[in-house]
Amino acid sequence: MPRPTVTPPEAPHADPLDLGFLASVAEGAARLTPEQALDLFRRAPLTTLGRYADARCRTLHGDSIRTYIIDRNINYTNICNARCTFCAFRRDGDEHDAYTLEPGQIHEKIAQLVAIGGTQILMQGGMNPALPLDWYITLLRGIKERFPKVHVHAFSPPEFIEFVHFFDPPGSTLEAKIRWVMVRLRDAGLDSLPGGGGEIFASPVRRKIGLGKCDAEAWLTTMYVAHTLGMFTSATMMFGHIEGHADRIHHMRLVREWQDRAIRESSRPEPMGHYKAFIAWPFQRENTPLGRVKDWGTQPGELDEGAVFPGDAVARLDGDGDPRSHAEFGRRVRRSGATDYLRTQALSRLFLDNIYSIGASWVTMGPHIGQVALNYGANDMGSVMMEENVVSAAGTTYCLSEPVLCRLIREAGFIPGQRDNVYDLLRVHSGPNSPDRMVDDWSKHRAKRLHAQTLDSKPTSVQLTTQAGSATSNSIL
Site residues, ligand SF4 (CB under 6 A): 80, 82-84, 87, 89-90, 126-127, 158, 213, 475-477
> Which DSSP helix (H) or strand (E) runs through 359?
strand 357-359
Task: Provide, rounded to whole angstroms, the least separation between the CB of residue 393 and ligand SF4.
Answer: 9
Task: Provide, rounded to whole angstroms, the least separation between the CB of residue 340 and ligand SF4.
Answer: 22
Sequence-ordered list of residues with C-beta below 8 angstroms from that of 46, at least 6 positions apart, any chain: 339, 342, 343, 346
Count the helix, strand and coil residues of the chain and give each as a percent rounded to the nearest 5.
Answer: 40, 20, 45
Task: Provide, rounded to whole angstroms, the least separation between the CB of residue 471 and ligand SF4.
Answer: 13
> Which DSSP helix (H) or strand (E) runs through 176?
helix 174-188
Q: Which C-beta is closer to ligand SF4: that of 119 or that of 473?
A: 473
In the three-class reduction of DSSP (H, G, I as helix; E, B as strand; rest coil), residue 156 is classed as coil
Task: Provide, rounded to whole angstroms, the least separation between the CB of residue 90 and ligand SF4.
Answer: 4
Q: Are 196 and 477 spatial neighbours (Cβ–Cβ below 8 Å)? A: yes
Task: Provide, rounded to whole angstroms, the least separation between the CB of residue 121 and ligand SF4.
Answer: 18
Q: Which C-beta is closer to ligand SF4: that of 83 or that of 294?
A: 83
H helices, E strands: number in the chain: 15, 16
Task: Provide, rounded to whole angstroms, the least separation between the CB of residue 322 and ligand SF4.
Answer: 25
Sequence-ordered list of residues with C-beta below 8 angstroms from that of 23, at least 6 positions apart, any chain: 52, 55
Q: Which C-beta is closer to ligand SF4: that of 225 or that of 477?
A: 477
Q: Which C-beta is closer to ligand SF4: that of 213 or that of 276?
A: 213
Closest CA relative to residue 393, chosen from 70, 81, 84, 72: 84
Q: Which C-beta is closer to ligand SF4: that of 122 or that of 405?
A: 122
The rounded distance, in Å, linking the Cα atoms of 258 and 250 is 12
Sequence-ordered list of residues with C-beta below 8 angstroms from that of 287, at least 6 positions apart, any chain: 88, 393, 394, 395, 452, 453, 454, 455
Q: Which C-beta is closer to ligand SF4: that of 24 or that of 473?
A: 473
